[in-house]
Amino acid sequence: MKKNFLNLGRQPIANSFLSSISKKSLESEYFYNLSISFDTKNFLVSVRRPVNPMIQYTDKYAHRASESQTMRRAFRKTASILQKKFKPKIVMEIGSNDGVFLKNFPKRKVIAVEPCKNLAELTKNSFKTYPNFWNKKLSKKILKKYSKIDLIFSANTISHIPDLRETFQGILNIISDRGVLVIEDPSLSSVIKINSYDQFYDEHVYVFSALAMKNIVSKYNLRLFDAEKISTHGGSLRYYICKHISKYKNTKRLTKILDNERNIGLNNFKTFKKFAKKVKNSKKKLVSLLKKLKSKNKKIISYGATYKSTTVFNYCKIDTNYFHYVTDTTNNKQGKFTPGTHIPIVSPEIGFNDSVDYAFLGAWNFKKEILKKEKNFIKRGGKFITHVPEVKILNK
Ligand code: JHZ
């Protein structure tokens, strides 16, 4: 049974950055209600009513996974680990974005699947790219050209696909008997631990736990045999999945992760009710801090036009009443406006200057990288604000 525990209110599509704020473009902005639920049977946390993927993954998709050094390095390292461990003949990635992971493999060994046409365009000359949504039909199409695949990788994508049956049946069609499916996604334990409620937005249809992943894949003749904690995106899990009959033994570290999730109550609805209270408090604290700074005439901006910020801004009703603008290094976000709250987005070269007193860390998951890069801002008295794990000024 699905039980709702958190309502983050009226939200736009997190990646629908507006090119203008003309009457016409404001009138056509799409909104939905972001309500989060817990399935008491398989322990899966999900967006109650997912948005249609056709309006999310278009040829205007904004996110480029290569934008941060942290992610470029993380994917390089992961590619090298997986190559050594599984020695795959072919690697297929579901949701290959701008190719940041696959470019670490020899071109001829790689198959990319990326439904956003603008992103698929970026990699199609480097390696075989299918500009399609992942589903059973596509798995069959690929099988006509290739043999079964022994490494399937997918980072920050499986959580985005509402239809789990299509996802995993497609994978079961194409994975070889010795094959491994490696999935990375933000973990539910981290979201609960650090109160990162902004991991909930339209694209994150699911925020998985190992408990939920184990239950889901077993429905499709697959088996979760290993999992490990990784630090990306504020705390993620990397899941290792194989065919049910495969030789891989379930690992001790998987048992440990599953036990830990039971201990923190990821199988218990009460945990999520408690979390929802913390989320409400976080909103109150953030708005009151911003109000206080504004009353002192401080100039506040936001750093990183993240999808996560879409949730925070719309839930907390933060717009140009508090923030002058948002800075972001991504070319195709600059000159646009944030979804729902319509704050202008500018490049850091233009916006991250001496006039800024406070910068809200929209990209809090890259705190280390950003604080290192922005030493001069901090030196001259500039301050960062975060809401994760709690609302505070970082360098008081
Ligand atoms: P970042 C996206 O979420 C969308 P977002 C997606 N749904 C998902 O699952 C996760 O990624 C993984 C900018 N930036 O990665 C670049 C700076 O401006 O936290 C990015 O626009 N300066 C697929 O959007 C944004 O911040 C910097 O120094 O929440 C970061 O976005 C750095 C490091 C980043 O993901």
338-372 pLDDT tens trace:
999 999 999 999 999 999 999 999 999 999 999 99
- β-bridge pairing 300-303 and 358-361: parallel
Rounded to whole angstroms, the Cα distance separating 387 from 179 reads: 41
Atom number, ligand 1, closest to the C-alpha of residue 67: 16
Backbone angles phi, psi at 259, to 5 degrees: -60, -45
Residue among 201, 306, 327 to mutate when testing ligand 1 (max atoms within 8 A of CB): 306
Residue 200 structure tokens: 């909930």
Backbone angles phi, psi at 206, to 5 degrees: -125, 140
Q: What is the pLDDT along the chain (396 residues), one digit of tens a residue?
A: 999 999 999 999 999 999 999 999 999 999 999 999 999 999 999 999 999 999 999 999 999 999 999 999 999 999 999 999 999 999 999 999 999 999 999 999 999 999 999 999 999 999 999 999 999 999 999 999 999 999 999 999 999 999 999 999 999 999 999 999 999 999 999 999 999 999 999 999 999 999 999 999 999 999 999 999 999 999 999 999 999 999 999 999 999 999 999 999 999 999 999 999 999 999 999 999 999 999 999 999 999 999 999 999 999 999 999 999 999 999 999 999 999 999 999 999 999 999 999 999 999 999 999 999 999 999 999 999 999 999 999 987
Residue with CA at minimum distance from ligand 1 atom 11: 63
Q: Measuring CA to CA, which residue among 9, 54, 61 is closest to residue 35?
A: 9
Atom number, ligand 1, closest to the C-alpha of residue 201: 7
Q: What is the pLDDT of residue 396?
A: 72
Between the CA of 71 and the centroid of ligand 1 the distance, in Å, is 10
Between the CA of 174 and the centroid of ligand 1 the distance, in Å, is 31
> Ligand 1 — pocket residues by CB below 6 A?
63, 67-68, 156, 203, 233, 304-308, 328-330, 333, 363, 365-366, 369-370, 373
Q: Measuring CA to CA, which residue among 198, 360, 192, 209 is closest to residue 278?
A: 192
Atom number, ligand 1, closest to the C-alpha of residue 159: 9
CA torsion angle 187 189 195 196 (round to 10): 0
Between the CA of 313 and the centroid of ligand 1 the distance, in Å, is 15
Q: pLDDT tens across 45-64, in order?
A: 999 999 999 999 999 999 99
Q: Beginning with the edge strand found earlier in the chain, give each strand of the sheet holding 222-230 in spatial order.
A: 128-130, 110-113, 91-94, 149-155, 175-186, 236-243, 222-230
